[in-house]
Amino acid sequence: MIKVEGLTKRYARTVAVDNISFEVEKGQIVGFLGPNGAGKTTTMRVLTCFLPPSSGTANVAGFDVLENPMEVKKRIGYLPETPPLYPEMEVDEYLHFVGKLKGIPSGEIRRRVDEVTGRCAIGDVRKKLIGKLSKGYRQRVGLAQAIIHNPDVLILDEPTSGLDPKQIIEIREMLKSLAGEHTIILSTHILSEVEHSCERVIIISQGKLVAIDSVTNLTNRLRGSEAVAVEVEPADGHPSPVEVQQRLEQVSGVSRVVMKDSKNGRINFEVESLQGRSVRADLARSVVQSGWNLSELRAVGLSLEDIFLQLTAAEQKEETKQKEEVKVEEGVKQ
Amino acid sequence: MKNVLLICRKELNSYFASPIAYLLMAFFGLIFGFGFYTATRDMVRFSFMAQMQGQMQPQNVNDAIIKPLLGFASTVALFLIPMITMRTFAEEKRTGTIELLMTSPVRDIDIILGKWLGAMLLYLCVLAMSMINIAMLFAWGKPDLKPVLVAYLGLILQGGCLLAIGTFISTTTRNQIVAGGVTFFVCLLLWLLSWFTAFDSSATGSVVNYLSIVTHFENFSKGVIDSKDAVFYLSMIFFCLFLTHRAFESLRWRA
Ligand SMILES: Nc1ncnc2c1ncn2[C@@H]1O[C@H](COP(=O)(O)OP(=O)(O)O)[C@@H](O)[C@H]1O
Ligand SMILES: [Mg+2]
């Protein structure tokens, strides 16, 4: 349904998207994951024909974004990062306008507007001015706008950003209900978002593709390695924080210990474990056996940055391993 | 064409959803009414004095009132134009709704024409405020209709030109105050140019004079349609909308 090959987009100074290739099958719901400034919005803007690519091609439903933008636009529904709303319009009026803009025959518009207002649960604000709506409602009107012409492809740029947890859950439910009929790409910089809504995930960082995988594979790759917040209260003020840190580092399965801060005799650490190792029990034992007080021990999620580090580190390790193997083989030949 | 009308209607709706349309109409109506009042008062006084001195030649309403009044209207309109065009594209760029328009299956030129047409219709509504007073003249006197219609045609053409310039300027920024300010400055410049070059018969003077949008209104205000002026206005509108189209395309490349 979507096919991107060697896509590069340069702005005056920056290369926002650097030689990205991927494909999305019909009916899939794909997460576009990356930290801020990774190039997610830029890629989506190329797919929606808002920006032309600097090089490479992008194909939607068999049409090229440069050669056949009209056909692409007809088949895409797009919700930009800030929903494109006119505050002076009523919700109904706005949806009628967008419907006509997307080329829905005038006889069908009424029915389409009824349908999307039902789907996006905005039936109770149809006669309200958009400027007076809350953030959650605006986002839903934005979503309604994107699906009004029943497009093959839905492109949603950070659809849940800035919403409160209840609203996020509502939007997720809506996305799930849309998944069967449409091919969906949604971008986010939050890992759990992808876990909740997507089947596949495309990870980019600084304009480059880091990984494409199914969500189950990805979580398997990452599962097991955990980050733990530890707070230690050494008895009588001695030993020093450095000593504690060294003791923690000695616990088997620990890959990294970072001291966060220390005040009132309490020292906070963040401990990361190796993949597939659970270290909480060992950490606790080690602290207690040293005669210190353990005032807190709590699992914290890995941040997106940590995940990128892990993914890229894993790939680098594999690469160096392969290189070493090649060297060994060469050595054998000699 | 359907899309042009769609955008045009949306523009008109948003003009009339905010106070701006009513403010402009009220402002223009008041200023024009004031001009009308002074002009008729002077004429009545003048012809009264003329009668006292035994000169029975009646004064021509067209020359004494309508012509200077519509000339005045063209100057006032010059300064209302920026307020009509400043938000056209600048506001859509600021709020991001331009992304909706540019990713919908409509041609760029449809969007531009729709916006310009919407601005044009609001301008016509503003101009219509002057017709109240002009209609009074027709009710009480017997002015010639044709020169009045020609002058209105001139007003519409001149307005179309300036609106196209303003629309172009609005595509170049995302700040409507900047768009309005620059357009106002351009209008002011055109107005001043027409004053300076009026007494300048050198080659550059006549070129500037030709390019100055305001001077082409002269003939229209006299009730004369000179094809040179009409062609000038129409090609100027075409050229400015073409420029807008280019600016719009470059939006995509620079974004
Ligand atoms: N209009 C623009 N002009 C210049 N640079 C831009 C523009 N838009 C985005 N960028 C740059 O391109 C990079 C990618 O941005 P973006 O695609 O918005 O990332 P994301 O959506 O993943 O946060 C960033 O470094 C950003 O500064
Ligand atoms: Mg973004």
Q: Which residues of chain A have pLDDT under 50?
A: none
Cα–Cα distance for residue pair B169/B85, rounded to 1 Å = 9
Residue nearest to ligand 1 atom 26, measured at CA: A37
Question: Which candidate, A46, A75, A29, places its Cα nearest to that of A202?
Answer: A29
Give the residue, by CA position, lying nearest to ligand 1 atom 7.
A11
Q: Using an 8 Å Cβ cutoff, are A293 and A233 in contact?
A: yes
Cβ proximity of B102 and B115 under 8 Å: no
Cβ pair A84:B95 closer than 8 A: yes
At A258 the pLDDT is: 84
Domain extent for B79: 2-254
Q: What's the predicted TM-score (pTM) here?
A: 0.82
Q: Which two tokens stand for residue B38?
A: 């002074």
Q: Are A50 and A242 in contact (CB under 8 A)?
A: no
Ligand 1 pocket mutation, candidates A13, A14, A20, criterion most atoms within 8 A of CB: A14
Which residue is closest to B248 within chain A, CA to CA?
A50
pLDDT at A101: 96
* Amino acid A221: pLDDT: 64
pLDDT digit string (tens) for A54-93?
Answer: 999 999 999 999 999 999 999 999 999 999 999 999 999 9
- Nearest-atom number in ligand 1 for the CA of B255 is 1
A317 membership: H or E segment, kind and range: helix A304-333
Residue A48 at interface with chain B, using a CB cutoff of 8 Å: yes
How far apart (Å, rounded) are the C-alpha atoms in residues A150 and B173? Answer: 34
* pLDDT at res. A325: 58
pLDDT tens-digit profile of A174-201?
888 888 889 999 998 887 788 778 889 9
How many domains does one find in chain B? Answer: 1
Question: What is residue B169's predicted lDDT score, i.e. its pLDDT?
Answer: 95
pLDDT of amino acid A88: 93
Class for domain A221-299, per CATH?
Answer: alpha beta
Where are the domains positioned within chain A? 2-213, 221-299
Residues B241 and B167 sit within 8 Å (Cβ to Cβ):
yes
CA B212 to chain CA centroid, Å, is 14
CA distance A200 to A192: 13
Angle between the A106-119 and A165-179 helix axes, to the nearest 10 degrees?
130
Pick out chain B residues at pLDDT < 70: 54-59, 197-201, 254-255
Residue A267 amino acid letter: I
Gap between the Cα atoms of A42 and A221, Å rounded: 28
The rounded distance, in Å, linking the Cα atoms of A103 and B233 is 34
ipTM of the complex: 0.89
Say if ligand 1 is within 6 A of residue A35 CB. no
Q: Which one-letter amino acid corresponds to residue A90?
A: E
> What pLDDT score was predicted for residue B147?
86
Does ligand 1 lie within 6 Å of residue A40's CB atom?
yes
Torsion sign (Cα): A64, A68, A71, A75: positive
Q: What is the pLDDT of residue A115?
A: 94
Protein residues placing their CB within 5 Å of the ion ligand 2? A 41
Q: Under CATH, what is the fold of the domain A2-213? A: Rossmann fold (3.40.50)
Domains A2-213 and A221-299 agree in fold: no
Tokens of B75: 């100057």
Ligand 2 centroid to residue A160 C-alpha, Å: 12
CA distance A190 to A33: 7
Query: Which single residue is written with the structure tokens 């219509």?
Result: B128
